[in-house]
Amino acid sequence: MTFSGFPFKAQFTPVPNPFFGSLLEDIDNLAELKLTMRIIWLVNQKKTFPRLISLGELLSDQTLVRSIFVKSEDITITIKRALDKAVERSTLVQTKVNYKKSQEVVYFINTEVERQAFNRSKFKHYEMQPVLKPDPWINGEVRPNIFSLYETNIGMLTPLLAEELKEAESNYPNQWIEEAFKASVISNKRSWRYISRILERWDQEGRNDGEHGEPWGHIKKADPKKYLRI
């Protein structure tokens, strides 16, 4: 896939300048590099200090998981190993905070601002933001999400369209979404309007024999126009 370029008025994430010097030279593990860069982005989305990130949040981040996933290895092991390397290098600081009635291992970027914020808080009555639990990964398989499918098969996303895609992802099974995109490519009608109408029709009328979950290829063998008319 060829990158189409950064869109107009794209937002930027601040990265400490030392990252692009000796630190970049020293990091020789691709998973550690990707994880560090993703955590810098993730903590910049947080509004309160100190900006902490948990293992559960990292395992729930599909962009990170897809970028460092190794088929022969459990993703939890891959991420933990990358975290250990970053902590050993002192790029990240690992600590524990009270969460509900237990303690949670969390990480923060090793900057002066974050260290001071952490030390001031003391965490005596600190209740960190809800810890995200990882999404289930069936047999370690990483499936493309709807945003990746759109960017790969159709083009650049807009904020308004992203909201529609997010809603569709919550309303339809992943297999339906993937096969609807496949249908649009085969029919050479690459537009979200076409894909969304396929999903709506499957939801309203069922797929081929009225049973949900039949693969799109089976529909194609029957009468594609009946199910794909737009």
The three state secondary structure string of 145-164 is: CHHHHHHHHCCCCCHHHHHH
Q: What is the structure's pLDDT at 86?
A: 93
79 pLDDT more than 80 = yes
Largest CA distance in the chain: 67
- Please report, for the chain, the start and end positions of each structural domain, with discontinuous segments joined by +: 17-134, 146-228
Q: What is the structure's pLDDT at 45?
A: 79
**Owner of token pair 């970028």:** 67
Q: pTM of this prediction?
A: 0.54
| Amino acid found at 68 | I
146-228 has CATH 1.10.10 classification: yes
Listing DSSP states for 162-222 in one string gives: HHHHHHHHHHS-HHHHHHHHHHHHHTT---HHHHHHHHHHHHHH-BTTTBTT--HHHHHHS
Strands of the 53-54 sheet, one edge to the other:
53-54, 102-109, 92-99
How much is the mean pLDDT over the chain? Answer: 75
C-alpha 57/C-alpha 11 separation (Å) is: 22
The two tokens of residue 199 are: 């999903």
C-alpha 17/C-alpha 34 separation (Å) is: 17
The two tokens of residue 67 are: 């970028």
Stretch 216-227: mean pLDDT, rounded? 42
Fold assignment, 17-134 = Arc Repressor Mutant, subunit A (1.10.10)
72 pLDDT more than 80 = no
Tell me which DSSP letter residue 9 carries: T
| Amino acid found at 102 | S
C-alpha 51/C-alpha 41 separation (Å) is: 11
Band (195; pLDDT cuts 50, 70, 90): very high
